[in-house]
Structure 1
Amino acid sequence: MGQLIVTEFITLDGVVDSPGGGDHPHAGWTFRQVEFDEAAYELKDREQKQAAAMLLGRVSYEEFAPVWPAMEEFAEYNAMPKYVVSSRLTDPQWHNTSVLRSLAEVARVKDSLDGPLLVHGSATLAQGLAAAGLVDRYHLLVFPLLLGAGRRLFDDSADTLRRLALVEHEAYANGVVKAVYDVVR
């Protein structure tokens, strides 16, 4: 049985919107506002090497699919199975990509894997997965920024208490903090 991991670049105030680019007024905040420290990204390299598959929402898929296939640093992601949860996407062009129509299908994929199923970006999907009890772990790189507005990882409209256990952490010279949490069941 696989482990579903939500992995995010997140600001101190919980915003995950447009960390590398996009429509947010401060899009690209991970590299435009914070000095690069290679050590802070070790987690991302490890994720790519350990993942069995990647899970995306449609919007994240549409942002990643035109760019990631040409990036040599994402060779493992490009080769692995990718799943997109969408009611509208019909013909994904990114190599080895399948469309899932429901969270029940996500649960079946997760159960069929021998390694982690990684959710990159996709805040709305991550919220739905958490509400359905499918998230096992969070990998967060917390950036020392307050954006104030934008999509947040943790939705305040649901009255859901989730207890998390810190299993790994590290602070870096640029102020980024790695925080890895297991969902306590």
Structure 2
Amino acid sequence: MARIVVTTFLSLDGVMDSPGGGEHPRAGWTFQEVAFDEAAYAIKGRETEEATALLLGRVSYDEFAPVWPSMEEFAHYNAIPKFVVSSTLSDPGWHNTSVLRSLDEVAALKQEHDGQIQVHGSARLAQGLAAAGLVDAYHLLTFPVVLGSGKRLFDDGAEQPRLRPVEQATYGNGVTLGVYDVVR
């Protein structure tokens, strides 16, 4: 059985919207508002090596699919299976990509697949997976930025997961790493 790991960049107020670009008024906040510290991104290399599949929502798929296939640093992600949860996508163009229509299909994938299925971005998907009890761990890079609004990792009003800290670090630019397992 696979482990589903949600990995994301967060602001101090829990916003994960548009960290590298996108629709948010402060899109690109991870690069534009916080000094780069290579050590803070070390987990991204580790995640790349550990991923056996990607699970994306439709919006993240639409943002990543035109860009990641041409980027050498994403060669591993381009090679592994990718799954998009979408009720409207019919013909994904990204190599080795399948469409899942429901969280029930995600639960079946989790049972059938081995290794680590990573969820990058995809706030709505991450919230739905958490509500369905399908998330096993969170890898969070929290930036010393307050955005005030935007898509959040944890849905207000929803039952929140109990988390057990597995790994933590603080970097010179104020970014913190938190790796958490979901307690069941």
Aligned to 1:183: 182
Question: 1:112: how far off?
Answer: 1.7
Task: Kindly tell me the number of residue pairs found equivalent between the two proteins.
Answer: 184
Note if 1:69 corresponds to 2:69: yes
Unpaired stretches in structure 1, ≥5 consecutive residues: none
CA offsets 1:153-183 (integer angstroms, 9 cap, x no match): 001032x142100000100001000000000
TM-superposition CA deviations, 1:39-59 (whole Å, max 9, x none):
111111111111110000000
User: CA-to-partner distance for each residue in 1:39-86, whole Å, 9 max, x for gaps?
Assistant: 111111111111110000000000000001011001100100000000
SS of aligned partner of 2:76? helix
Letter in 2 for 1:113: H
Aligned to 1:8: 8
Partner of 1:141: 141
AA at the equivalent of 2:27: A
Q: Contact between 2:7 and 2:139, CA under 8 Å: does it hold in 1?
A: yes
Runs (4+) of structure 1 exceeding 2 A deviation are none
Question: How far off is 1:109 after superposition?
Answer: 1.1
Matched residue, 1:125 = 125
Q: Which runs of 5+ in 2 are unaligned?
A: none
Q: TM-score, normalised by structure 2?
A: 0.98
Q: Which residue of 2 aligns with 1:168?
A: 167
Residue 110 of structure 1 deviates from its aligned partner by: 1.3
Q: State the 1:111 CA deviation.
A: 1.6
Q: Give the whole-Å Cα distance in 1 for the aligned partners of 2:165 and 2:174.
A: 19
Shift of 1:8: 0.5
Identity of aligned residues (%): 68
Letter in 2 for 1:164: L
